[in-house]
Chains A and B, each alone.
Chain A
Amino acid sequence: MRKIFGLILSIIAVICPMIITGCTVGRSGDDIKNLYTIIKNNHTDIDTGDNDIFDDSYTINISYIDRIENITLATADTSNAKNLYTLSNFYNSLFQAIFRYFENWNESFFNNIDKVSTGELGELYAKLNSLNLSLIDLSDAKQILEDAVVLNGVDNVSSHYITSYIYLLNNVVEDSIEFVQYFRELHMSHIFRDDTLSSNAVSRTIDEMNLTIARIIYIDNIRPFNLQNGEYKICDLSALVKAYNSGNQYARLDMLSKLNKELSDAMVNALTENNDPTRTGQATKYMHYSDILRQDILALDKIYQDIDYYKLSLYRFGLIEGGVDNYYIGLSYMDKLSYEFLDNLLDFVDNTYMPSYANIV
């Protein structure tokens, strides 16, 4: 009897910590690197060796659907093809902003991996695996879409194939953000220790802010258009495109992309290490605004209400008549606060943060 009791106790002793820690299995740095390799290989064409998700880097790059591209080049510039082409460019810029942090800091992270616990690495692994599954779903949807396009032509294809594909693409964006975001947290809490105004600190902040801006764009302009009703999952493509074409929302990403390209290491060094007071002042200001944005993003994560952002966005982009002000009046006060907070944050990004980044570039 006592032996049985002991056995039960030992089982409980094993299970309890697993339950408490959310059943996360401990992992190593090699596990994560191996999984990344597996993910890349998953999307490599056996015959040609081409990879339609990744090139040599870690960054996701959704190649413009080949067979659609061929059709588009051969035919008139039809609306579906145009939309897909435009959006794939946009999504790739977004992925570049998201993965920039991982690209630039994974080496120092893996070189100092012993500072990170296996439990935390297990969590990171789980997030990468979630991204892996989303990418597999996306590849399946892409195959179906391509087949449908080949069969019917790009502008005669059922819109459901396209909207389902974009829905899954949005999930990939979300999982990418989750993965890199957690990587950043581990990197900051265990490895990166540089509070001074060094070129290293400025570079890291720029990479982090790329991720932050990508998150804001996702929250404000992508997530609202993903619609789910039971098994029926689509993205409202016409709203997404309308939002895209309205200009100002995506202008942030274009500007970010442009600034990233113009920023060189030499410039970052010059900012902080040649004692030029003007340049150092600009870098100080940029770092300060980045800190403020970081503070605000923390609050946004907490207060973001699950309001009907879809409907709100339709008003904002003129897809429903009546004007956003009328809809806004009907919101609860908490929802208004949430919306106002996001709105103020976007103003801050456009009017304060972006100009300070442009200044240092």
Chain B
Amino acid sequence: MKRIFKIVLVTIIVVGLMLGAYFIFFHRDSNLSVYHSANNMIEYRHNYQFDSSLGGLVDLGYGENYANAFDDIEHRDLIIIREKLFVVDSADKLEGGTAESGLFYYYGYAKYEEAIFEGIKYYSTYTSLAGNAKFLAAKGHERQIEIYQGYFSQLTSMSRDIMNKQATLGIEGGITYPELLQDYINLRNSYRNALKSGAELLINLRDYVIEYAYNNNYEFSTSNVLYDSLASTIITATKADINQEINYLYDASEYIDKLHTYYSTSSISYGTVDEMQYLNAYKLMYFRDREDFDKIYTFTHFQKQDLITGNNIISAQIKIDFLSYARIVVDLLELR
């Protein structure tokens, strides 16, 4: 009797393990969990009034007269950080830099994050078709969506906290400039992490959609190429040293500009190449040389220009068979 019991028990355990392994590694989830998670996240952001609380911080200004601020080095640093966080003027661009000086015109983090969020929305729609994705792939994406969503509440509470503290500047017992500066630095760091998290989510959603929604039979459009390029560039920027990220964010701002143009006019200029040439090169690189495809976006703006003009050091980093395609992909940048 005992022996039979043992056999039954072992059988149950083995069957249980096999079923577990099947569901984790082989079973394809048909419940569209990624699609629902993504949409919950989008709705959460909407209901949380994430944007308006950050907007409140932008409207609050710098605390005192702008023109006199540069006499005080801490105040100047504060302004620079705020400029980095938010869009700073009517032209949506930071004044006072040139490509030659290494200080490019660029958007604030908030603008980048907003564009990344739009890209996430774009791909979220298509996850509705990935009903047969593998269980683990779906779970991984759900977790990433949760992490990204976590930043909405974190950034909102941080910005509200700063708003309250900034109101006490100059009041006895209120916050000092060094303290406020540190709070802004913390906010900037969180924003940077949110940006990285969102950009990685966007890229992973793209791969997920291509593999599971379209079974690797996918046609890229100009808008999704621009979203991908934006996200890939931002990933590199947020992985780089914070003082070096500007070399990548310049290109990212170019992609956002092009996205705006594309959506308002349904067409953009493609540098020296034709749209079809560009999209075909992009598709070919994505499916056949993923290593170099990803590498392109780790190049700085100047390195990308070098790739187009045939600089040997940069060109040598791309496989010879794909070099011409890589140049076409990068050529989209050469608008200005």
Contact of B275 among A285, A302, A347 (CB under 8 A): A285
A288, B43: Cβ atoms closer than 8 Å: no
Residues of chain A within 8 A of B76, CB atoms compared = none
Q: Which B residues touch A285, using CB under 8 A?
A: 275-276
| Chain B residue contacts of A341, Cβ below 8 A | 125
What does DSSP make chain B's interface, helix, strand, loop or mixed?
helix
Is B126 an interface position by the 8 A CB rule?
yes
Q: Is the interface of A mostly helix, strand, loop or mixed?
A: helix
Shortest CB–CB separation between residue B280 and chain A, in angstroms?
9
Q: B residues 201-240 with Cβ under 8 Å of A?
A: 213-214, 218-219, 221
Find the A residue at minimum CB distance from B274: A281
CA distance A250 to B126 in the complex (A): 27
Give B35-56 as 1s and 0s: 1 = Cβ < 8 Å from A's Cβ atoms: 0000100110011000000000
B-side interface size class: 20 to 34
Give, as a whole number of angstroms, the nearest-CB distance from B74 to chain A: 41
Question: Does chain A have a CB within 8 A of B93?
Answer: no
Alpha-carbon distance between A285 and B39 when the two chains are bound, in angstroms: 33
Q: Which of A75-83, A115-123, A143-151, A290-298 contacts B (4 or more CB under 8 A)?
A: A290-298
Tell me whether A303 and B219 are in contact (CB under 8 A): no
Contact for B129 among A288, A292, A302, A351, CB less than 8 A: A302
Q: Write the nearest CB–CB distance from A312 to chain B, whole angstroms.
A: 19
Q: Report if A334 contacts B (CB, 8 A).
A: yes
- Chain A residues lying within 8 Å of B279, measured Cβ to Cβ, are 288
Given contacts A299-B126, A347-B266, contact A337 B121 (CB under 8 A): yes
Least Cβ–Cβ distance between A291 and chain B, in angstroms: 4
Q: Which residues B290-324 have CB closer than 8 A to chain A?
A: none
Across the interface, name the chain A residue whose C-beta is closest to B214. Answer: A295
Whether, in the assembled complex, A129 has its beta carbon less than 8 Å from a beta carbon of chain B, the answer is no
Contact across chains for A288 and B219 when beta carbons are under 8 A apart: yes
State the Cβ distance, A168 to closest chain B Cβ, in Å: 32
Q: B176 at interface (Cβ–Cβ under 8 A)?
A: no
Once bound together, how far apart are the Cα atoms of A348 and B224, in whole Å? 14
B126 contacts across to A, CB distance below 8 A: 295, 299
A93 interface residue (CB < 8 Å to B): no
The docked-state distance in angstroms from the alpha carbon of A291 to that of B213 is 14
In the complex, the answer to whether B128 meets A303 with C-beta atoms within 8 Å is yes
Contact with B along A191-235 (1 / 0, CB 8 A): 000000000000000000000000000000000000000000000
Please tell me if the beta carbons of B266 and A351 are within 8 angstroms of each other in the complex.
yes
Nearest Cβ on chain A to B132's Cβ, whole angstroms: 13
Q: Is A5 an interface residue (CB 8 A)?
A: no
Contacting residues, chain A, for B218 (C-beta < 8 A): 295
Q: Do A299 and B125 have beta carbons less than 8 Å apart?
A: yes
Within 8 A of B (CB), among A299-329: 299, 302-303
When the two chains form the complex, which single residue of B46, B47, B276 contacts A281, counting CB atoms closer than 8 Å?
Answer: B276
Binary interface encoding of chain A residues 346-359 relative to chain B, with 1 for a CB under 8 A from any of its CBs, else 0? 01100110000000
A24 CB-CB contact with B under 8 Å: no
Q: How far is the CA of A291 from the CA of B129 in the complex (A)?
A: 16
Q: How far is the CA of A298 from the CA of B128 in the complex (A)?
A: 9
Which residues of chain A are near B266, meaning CB under 8 Å?
Answer: 347-348, 351-352
Contact among A281, A334, A348, A352 for B43, CB-based, below 8 A: A334
Interface residues of A in 176-191 (CB under 8 A from B): none
Q: How far is the CB of A329 from chain B (nearest CB, A)?
A: 12
A292 touches B275 (CB 8 A): no
Give B125-136 as 1s and 0s: 1 = Cβ < 8 Å from A's Cβ atoms: 110110000000
- Expressed in whole angstroms, the minimum distance between the Cβ of A242 and any Cβ of chain B is 27
Chain B residue with minimal CB distance to A303?
Answer: B128
Tell me the complex Cα distance, A299–B128, Å: 7
A284: Cβ under 8 A from any B Cβ: yes
A347 to B214, CA, bound (A): 23
| Identity of the chain A residue whose Cβ is nearest the Cβ of B39 in the assembled complex | A334
Q: How far is the CA of A287 from the CA of B279 in the complex (A)?
A: 13
Bound CA–CA A91/B93 (angstroms): 51
CB distance from A294 to the nearest CB of B (A): 8
Chain B residues with CB under 8 A of A284: 276
Whether B125 lies near A292 (C-beta < 8 A) is no
Chain B residues closer than 8 Å to A292, beta-carbon distance: 219, 221
Bound state CA distance, A332 and B43, in angstroms? Answer: 8
Distance in angstroms from A282 CB to nearest chain B CB is 10
A292-B46 Cα distance, complex, nearest whole Å: 29
Q: Could you give, for residues 49-88 of chain A, a 1 whenever the CB lies within 8 Å of some chain B CB and a 0 otherwise?
A: 0000000000000000000000000000000000000000
**Min CB gap A304→B, angstroms:** 10
Q: Indicate with 1 or 0, residue by residue over A257-298, a CB within 8 angstroms of chain B CB atoms.
A: 000000000000000000000000100110010011001001
Q: Which residues of A contact B47 (CB under 8 A)?
A: 333
CA distance A336 to B214 in the complex (A): 24
CB proximity of B149 to chain A, nearest CB, Å:
14
- Chain A residues near B275: list those with CB within 8 A: 285
In the complex the two chains form, is A295's CB within 8 Å of B276's CB? Answer: no
| In the bound complex, CA of A117 to CA of B128 (Å) | 29
- How far does the alpha carbon of A197 sit from the alpha carbon of B254 in the complex, in Å? 34
Set A291, A299, A333, A347: member contacting B219, Cβ < 8 A:
A291
Which of A333, A341, A351 gathers the greatest number of chain B CB atoms within 10 Å? A333
CB distance from B226 to the nearest CB of A (A): 14
Complex-state Cα separation, A285 to B47, whole angstroms: 41
Smallest CB separation, A307 vs chain B (Å)? 14
Chain A nearest CB from B24 CB (Å) reads 26
- Interface contact B125-A337, CB-CB below 8 Å: yes
Ranked 4 nearest A-B pairs via Cβ: A351-B266, A302-B128, A291-B219, A333-B43
For the complex with contacts A333-B46, A334-B39, A341-B125, 16 further pairs of A-B residues with Cβ separation under 8 Å are: A281-B274, A285-B276, A288-B276, A291-B219, A292-B221, A298-B129, A298-B213, A299-B213, A303-B128, A333-B39, A333-B43, A333-B47, A337-B39, A337-B121, A347-B266, A351-B266
29 A-B contacts, Cβ less than 8 Å apart?
A281-B274, A285-B275, A288-B219, A288-B276, A288-B279, A291-B219, A292-B219, A295-B214, A295-B218, A298-B213, A299-B125, A299-B213, A302-B128, A302-B129, A303-B125, A332-B43, A333-B39, A333-B43, A333-B46, A333-B47, A334-B39, A334-B43, A337-B39, A337-B121, A337-B125, A341-B125, A347-B266, A351-B266, A352-B266
